[in-house]
Amino acid sequence: MLLTKRELPILVFNLIYVGIFTAVALGGSNHEFVLYAGVIVLLVALVVIKQQTLKFDPTILWGLSLWGLLHMAGGNLHVRGTVLYSLQLIPIIPSYEILRYDHAVHMFGFGVATLICHHLLRPYVKTDVERWRTLALLIVLMGSGVGALNEIIEFVAVVTVPETGVGGYENTMLDLVFNLLGGLMAVAWLTWHRRPA
């Protein structure tokens, strides 16, 4: 069996939100997010196929699922005439529109990516590793590297399809900052869970 009883509801959750937002994207002629829906379906299929060897715990699987949901909602839902991704949640630095929904999704998503990096790295690290700070730094850098790869993909999208909603240089830099903050938060969470009971 590919999935356990604990993993099956996560798959159902993904299929439901992807189906709903694919319909919303098609109805609004939002071709970019129809494409993203296809990417999410491929990623879900890949995780289902590889789960027996990857053995992601439910925290990571739910994190990936919520990241996908937040992403699809961000590009398809509108609040007061503004696409959710552009919505400023808290005016921390108004001149840069920090904190926007986009920033929160980057922070959450690349926090999850950092947890995945930690999970994938664990088999190659001694279980009694004493230098957690060094390992934590490497894990944050790995998560930030995944975030940088995401920005390269966004750049390719802008070059090939200029009407994408991806912003310019400042947007890229802010995305990288929030990717890093997400990685630091993930490592803080890992550090908390490593503490003896």
pLDDT (tens digit per residue) in 18-27: 999 999 999 9
Residue 171 near residue 178 (C-beta atoms within 8 A): no
- Is there a single domain that holds both residue 83 and residue 159? yes
Q: Which of 49, 75, 101 is the last residue of a domain?
A: 75
Residue 129 in this model has a pLDDT that exceeds 90: no
Say whether the peptide bond before residue 99 is cis (omega within 30 degrees of 0).
Answer: yes
Query: How many CB atoms neighbour CB 163 within 10 A?
Result: 8
Helices (H), 77-168: 101-121, 132-160
Q: What is the mean pLDDT of the chain?
A: 89
Confidence of residue 128 (pLDDT cuts 50, 70, 90): low
Helix pair angle (58-76, 101-121), 10° resolution: 150
Say how many domains are in the chain.
2
Q: 71 with 88, same domain?
A: no
From residue 101, give the alpha-carbon distance in Å to each of 68, 84, 192.
Answer: 14, 7, 27
- Domain encompassing residue 180: 77-197
* Three-state secondary structure call for residue 38: helix
> Does residue 180 share a domain with residue 116?
yes
Q: Do residue 120 and residue 178 come from a single domain?
A: yes
